[in-house]
A and B are shown apart, each in its own frame.
Chain A
Amino acid sequence: MSAGLLQSEPGHVLEGRARRLTLARALALSGGPFDAAVWPEKNLHTDLKAANDAGLAEIVVSGTQWEGYLVGFLAELFGMHWFRHGELDIKIPRSVRIGETLQPKARLETRETQGGALRIALSVWVENQDGAQVLVGTAACTLPPSAAA
């Protein structure tokens, strides 16, 4: 559980680790299990021809990849509470190309006590190396009274 979530004032921004999205990691996400008979599986996330057949000029990285960056970051912030009480509401406003560097971020919005439990609400986003947001939304997690004390 991040001390920043419990001690900071609303408006405080927490930053996850920046990661460069490489082709190898995109293939690992969308190419099927490494031990499949044929790897990577061909689809518009892994194969240029499959992407072209779908009307795309290049392969499109799955948004699950950077949503995964964000959810991993939220699990770091909230610890095990995230896996029992995590809530996330997001949209992906733009696509991401191989080679971009992405960083998940969260801004503390509210910290409210409800019946002894503590509900922490965040604005969340993932931005690229130019500061453009490639995911936007909100997250919240309710901590039981034992953790909120």
Chain B
Amino acid sequence: MNGKFAHELKAGDQYEPLEFVVTSDLNQQFLYCVEDYNPIYLEGRDGKPPLVHPVLLMHMSPRTRSPSYRQAPGMGSAFARDRSRYFNPGHVGSRFRVTWTVTNTYEQRGKIYQDYVALVQDESGIDILRRELASTFFMLGKVKTYALGKSK
């Protein structure tokens, strides 16, 4: 990404990947977040560990999780749309890698739009979750968006 601010990236650019391990404690923290204690997330089956709750993988896959994500001063960003595809379950104890590739950028009504693909894979390189995310950048204090409640 070469020190660029996030809104300066163009189609084909990538944010630096993130790797993380999902421990049982971390998975159960996210079960608490969403009050979802389905046994598949707590008990291993068929010799495999429990499943990672999807909300944890969703939380780790916006571009803001990238070590290289830099937002310009005075600028905000908001999520606009999420198209997700699930390919395989992720298991507790696994190391996951998230990569982000910008697929499109454009300006409309004073806002910069950036579309990108987030791909979550496990330590074997198996695809777990692919997200096509659309987002906007805007100058703080100038634009109200759906996600930001009352502007000051």
Contacts and interface: CB of A to CB of B under 8 A. Distances in A.
Interface stretch (B84-92, B93-101, B102-110, B115-123): B84-92
A95 B147 contact: yes
A83 B34 contact: no
A89 B52 CA distance: 21
B35 A88 contact: no
Where chain B touches its partner, the secondary structure class is mixed
B33 A25 contact: yes
Contact of B35 (A19, A35, A62, A94): A19
How many of chain B's residues touch chain A, expressed as a range?
35 or more
Nearest to A76: B38
Contact of A95 (B29, B36, B51, B146): B146
A132 interface: no
A88 B82 contact: yes
A72 B33 CA distance: 12
Interface string A58-83: 10101111011101100110001011
A48 to B, nearest CB: 12
Contacts of B1: none
Interface string A87-125: 111111111010000000000000000000000000000
A33 B29 contact: yes
B81 A58 contact: no
A29 B33 contact: yes
B55 A55 contact: no
A17 B38 CA distance: 12
B53 interface: yes
Nearest to A27: B33
B30 to A, nearest CB: 7
Given A56-B149, A63-B147, A68 B29 contact: no
A20 B91 CA distance: 28
Nearest to B35: A19
A7 B40 CA distance: 24
B58 A64 contact: yes
Nearest to A58: B149
17 contacts: A25-B33, A28-B33, A29-B33, A29-B59, A33-B29, A55-B151, A63-B79, A65-B55, A68-B30, A72-B36, A72-B55, A82-B86, A83-B88, A84-B86, A84-B89, A89-B84, A93-B146
